[in-house]
């Protein structure tokens, strides 16, 4: 298999040749199979819907630098509908999460999105992948399947009323005060993973209005009893089912019993080490961790970006699949290619086009995947 730099160069060369002689829809629809891995690796393990994923890949494959230099929009060069069909050809949507029985959710009721995780996954059986990478991708998929099975097992053990509570909490419009016991329990993330939805709560600077019987000293500082209110006899202890329901969301973690041996390749080790099938967002919904486009090792980023991308004998192996886990590397190489194309274009049209083509000190950030 060719390395990533070679495949990307071939893709743009093919695009330029075909774009000048055929319609955009025709050349992209007839894209040779050798470029399928390029599309698959860019879409793998994304939790976007197909429409947004199409726009995301379109922006990566045809960066804004090329749009500004050549004067052609991304839609005219890489048609969204044709790219959408191509993504659907090399990937498949996989859904994980709760599968409540019809007796609980009703025959015509859609499943709440809060308890579902849908990922776009490459059909890896179609590609000639290294054995270590193929095993890793299969292990990750199996880990997600196992996590979903454990979730459903815990869900089925709950009383019917608590099962309805879970579904109501995932449907904010249907949640009611009688389902107000705490469900939002944050599952700790691995140290390499940033929390996407962790928004710190602002401390209110306003004090509550004092009663007529309160004294000035009552507002001089926090009262210990207010921070730790005493329990009254009338207060209800949380039921066993509520406790189990709270623990239900914290149970979706890494299954160490299903842990495969870490490969010797440092890139795969970093990727595997930070993997968890799901985690609980602050909104009380399930979400995947370590998306395809998230970096897991800054040292790894620097090591790869300064390596020769065409050297398949490099200790990290061929670039295409072995290091596709860090999309920052892919974006950097695409931008470098775009800059070289701009230089080539402006050199041949110096009389007509005036564009600053100095190499940037830092590439502008692309949309976070």
Task: Give the residue extent of every domain in the chain.
Answer: 4-193+238-348
Q: How far apart are CA 282 and CA 198, in angstroms?
A: 6
Higher pLDDT, 139 or 267: 139
- In the predicted structure, residue 191 carries a pLDDT above the cut 50: no
Q: Going along the chain, which residue ranges are E strands? A: 91-97, 116-122, 279-280, 286-287
Which range among 121-130, 291-300, 337-346 shows the weakest confidence by mean pLDDT?
A: 291-300
**Complete DSSP assignment for 55-94:** HHHHHHHS-HHHHHHH---HHHHS-HHHHHHHHHHHEEEE
Query: What pLDDT score does 167 carry?
Result: 76
Which range among 99-113, 322-336, 350-364 shows the weakest confidence by mean pLDDT?
A: 350-364
Query: What pLDDT score does 346 carry?
Result: 56
β-pair type (116-122, 91-97): antiparallel
- In the predicted structure, residue 109 carries a pLDDT above the cut 50: yes
Structure confidence by residue, pLDDT tens digits, 1-13: 455 566 767 777 7
**Residue that the structure tokens 């970093």 belong to:** 270
Query: What pLDDT score does 38 carry?
Result: 79
Q: Which of 159-163, 245-249, 321-325, 364-368 has the highest mean pLDDT?
A: 159-163
Beta carbons of 353 and 345 less than 8 angstroms apart: yes
β-pair type (279-280, 286-287): antiparallel
Which range among 74-78, 115-119, 316-320, 336-340 shows the weakest confidence by mean pLDDT?
A: 316-320
Mean pLDDT (whole number) for 79-103: 82
Query: Most distant CA pair in the chain: distance in Å?
Result: 87
Mean pLDDT (whole number) for 21-40: 73
- In the predicted structure, residue 277 carries a pLDDT above the cut 60: yes
Higher pLDDT, 136 or 283: 136
Query: What pLDDT score does 305 carry?
Result: 31
Hey, what are 242's tokens?
């509520």
Query: What pLDDT score does 283 carry?
Result: 61
- In the predicted structure, residue 246 carries a pLDDT above the cut 60: no
Query: What pLDDT score does 369 carry?
Result: 36
Q: How far apart are CA 366 and CA 62, in angstroms?
A: 12
Mean pLDDT (whole number) for 93-111: 74
Q: What percent of the chain has pLDDT above 70?
A: 35
Mean pLDDT (whole number) for 116-136: 76
- In the predicted structure, residue 20 carries a pLDDT above the cut 80: no
Beta carbons of 68 and 339 less than 8 angstroms apart: no
Query: What pLDDT score does 13 carry?
Result: 78
Q: How far apart are CA 253 and CA 278, in angstroms?
A: 6
Beta carbons of 226 and 125 less than 8 angstroms apart: no
Q: How far apart are CA 101 and CA 104, in angstroms?
A: 6
Kindly report the average pLDDT of the chain as a whole number: 60
Q: How far apart are CA 183 and CA 283, in angstroms?
A: 9
Query: What pLDDT score does 329 carry?
Result: 56
């Amino acid at each position: 298999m060719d390395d990533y730099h070679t495949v990307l160069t071939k893709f743009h060369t093919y695009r330029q040749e075909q774009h000048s002689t055929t319609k955009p829809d025709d050349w992209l629809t007839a894209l040779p199979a050798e470029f399928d891995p390029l599309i698959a690796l860019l879409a793998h393990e994304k939790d976007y819907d197909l429409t947004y994923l199409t726009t995301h890949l379109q922006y990566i494959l045809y960066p804004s630098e090329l749009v500004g230099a050549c004067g052609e929009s991304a839609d005219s060069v890489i048609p969204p509908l044709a790219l959408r069909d191509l993504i659907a050809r090399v990937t498949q949507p996989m859904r994980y999460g709760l599968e409540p029985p019809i007796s609980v959710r009703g025959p015509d009721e859609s499943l709440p999105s809060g308890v579902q995780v849908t990922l776009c996954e490459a059909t890896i059986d179609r590609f000639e992948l290294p054995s270590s990478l193929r095993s890793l991708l299969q292990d990750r998929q199996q880990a997600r399947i196992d996590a979903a099975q454990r979730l459903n097992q815990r869900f089925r053990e709950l009383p019917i009323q608590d099962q309805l509570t879970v579904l109501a909490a995932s449907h904010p419009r249907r949640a009611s005060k009688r389902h107000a016991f705490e469900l939002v329990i944050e599952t700790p993330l691995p140290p390499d993973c940033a929390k996407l939805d962790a928004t710190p709560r602002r401390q209110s600077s306003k004090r509550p209005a004092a009663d007529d019987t309160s004294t000035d000293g009552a507002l001089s500082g926090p009262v210990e009893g207010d921070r730790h209110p005493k329990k009254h006899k009338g207060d209800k202890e949380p039921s066993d089912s509520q406790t189990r329901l709270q623990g239900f969301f914290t149970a979706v973690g890494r299954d160490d019993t299903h842990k495969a041996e870490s490969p010797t390749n440092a890139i795969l080790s970093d990727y595997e080490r930070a993997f968890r099938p799901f985690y609980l967002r602050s909104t009380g919904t399930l979400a995947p961790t370590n998306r395809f486009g998230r970096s897991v090792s800054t040292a790894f980023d620097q090591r790869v970006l300064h390596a020769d991308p065409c050297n398949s004998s490099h200790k990290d192996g061929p670039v295409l699949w072995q290091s596709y886990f860090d999309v920052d590397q892919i974006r950097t190489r695409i931008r470098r290619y775009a800059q070289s194309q701009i230089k080539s274009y402006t050199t041949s049209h110096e009389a007509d086009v005036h564009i600053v083509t100095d190499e940037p000190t830092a590439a502008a950030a692309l949309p976070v995947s």
